[in-house]
Amino acid sequence: ARRIGVSHAALTPHFGDLRGLLTAFATEAFEKLKLSMVTEMAGAPDGALRASGRGYIRFAMANPGHFRTMFRTDHLDKADPALAAAAGAAFGVLKDAMAAEYPELQGQALADHLALAWSVVHGYAMLRVEGGAGDMLWASTDKVAAAEPMLNLLHAALAPRL
């Protein structure tokens, strides 16, 4: 409201309440997250999955307020169709990257691999956004570059065993 020069009350008719405003904010954030992942993946020499992880981390580091809000589901209207579509589209980038890299994965094996990849990348991003304990683990101030060894370990862990 301050940035566009209106009173806080002026936003109420558009968003309804704080929950509506935060839901719109999170929807925009998921759209930006998707764009960051897709942009990082464009022409990535080391595969779509690693690149999508870098894009996820890059987004979180550049937009910590958005990143925190996106996952505070107690503050969001989870039934909002625009939020669901934006979150689903962002998740779809990860799912497509996993399918491109590991086309043999199906069913629960695919779900397990997706859960591991998302958990690792999201956990790293959250630790770096919040500081504290994460800063004890990684000395580098370039938080995206510092993730590369972890992304390599994740890639090795995800590789199907013969």
> Cβ distance 127 to 121 under 8 Å?
no
Residue type, 156: A
Q: Answer for the pair 93, 34: CB distance below 8 angstroms, yes or no.
A: yes
Cα 109 to the center of its chain, rounded Å: 21
Write down the pLDDT at residue 14: 58
User: Position of tokens 């958990």?
Assistant: 119
pLDDT (tens digit, 0 to 9) for every residue of the chain, 162 residues total?
A: 566 565 656 555 555 666 788 898 899 999 999 999 999 999 888 889 999 999 999 999 999 999 999 988 888 999 999 999 999 999 999 999 999 889 998 999 999 999 999 999 999 999 999 876 667 788 777 889 999 999 999 988 988 764
Specify burial of residue 80 (Cβ count, 10 A radius: 0-12, 13-18, 19+). middle
Tokens 């962002």, located at residue: 90
pLDDT on residue 138: 80
